[in-house]
């Protein structure tokens, strides 16, 4: 049986209206931009903003439908009000401190340093494996932000994408 034009239109509407509605109300967060102090982050699809667990955190995100995957953004002036933006020297000291602490805990392994771009800024980072999950912390030079990820290796690229979108 061949469908006539009105039936084809009805089927198209039945399919397209829910899709348009989903895009409009954005239940799975297709596109989000979150303000973090004077900056903004573009949040990749399937990440949900959550209530930060500590007062030092500006924002926190979790990966939807995943066993693990969290991102936290900390303002270092909330930890200590006299601290200004991250300098290379301060970030290198902080990275060295984290590695020293992690080396005392058998759950951590494979510590390494790396550098990446955080929008127009540069970020100094440390990464390690924690009980099978990836953990990294980046200090965004020229800002007071510390960006941290803990979760599956599978979702690490989208967390780095979030960091690189800083503007």
124 plus 145 within the same structural domain: yes
What CATH number does residue 127 fall under?
3.40.1000
88 plus 103 within the same structural domain: yes
Q: How much of the chain exceeds pLDDT 90, in percent?
A: 49
Domain residue limits at 14: 1-28
15 plus 79 within the same structural domain: no
Tokens read off for 134:
């990836």
Q: What is the pLDDT of residue 55?
A: 84
Q: Residues 26-75: pLDDT tens digits?
A: 555 566 788 888 899 998 888 888 888 888 888 998 887 777 789 999 99
124 plus 85 within the same structural domain: yes
Instruction: Single out the residue of 72, 56, 80 nearest to residue 137, CA to CA.
Output: 72
- Our count of domains for the chain comes to 2
Tokens read off for 64:
């939807």
- Residue 10 in this model has a pLDDT that exceeds 80: no
23 plus 51 within the same structural domain: no
Q: Residues 70-101: pLDDT tens digits?
A: 999 999 988 888 999 999 999 999 999 999 99
10 plus 50 within the same structural domain: no
Question: What are the φ/ψ torsions at residue 47 (nearest 5 degrees)?
Answer: -110, 135
81 plus 19 within the same structural domain: no
What is the length of the chain? 167
35 plus 24 within the same structural domain: no
Q: What is the pLDDT of residue 98?
A: 92
């Amino acid at each position: 049986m061949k469908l006539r034009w009105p039936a084809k239109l009805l089927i198209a509407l039945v399919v397209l209206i829910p899709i348009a509605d989903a895009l409009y109300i954005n239940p799975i967060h297709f596109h989000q931009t979150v303000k973090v102090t004077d900056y903004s982050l573009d949040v990749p699809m399937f990440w949900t903003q959550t209530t930060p667990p500590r007062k030092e955190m500006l924002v926190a995100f979790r990966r939807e439908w995943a066993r693990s995957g969290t991102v936290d953004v900390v303002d270092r002036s909330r930890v200590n009000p006299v601290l200004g933006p991250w300098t290379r020297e301060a970030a290198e000291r902080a990275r060295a401190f984290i590695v020293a602490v992690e080396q005392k805990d058998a759950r951590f392994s494979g510590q390494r340093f790396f550098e990446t771009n955080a929008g127009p800024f540069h970020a100094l980072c440390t990464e390690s494996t924690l009980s099978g999950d990836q953990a990294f912390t980046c200090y965004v030079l020229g800002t007071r932000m510390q960006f941290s990820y803990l979760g599956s290796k599978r979702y690490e690229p989208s967390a780095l994408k979030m960091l690189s979108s800083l503007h």
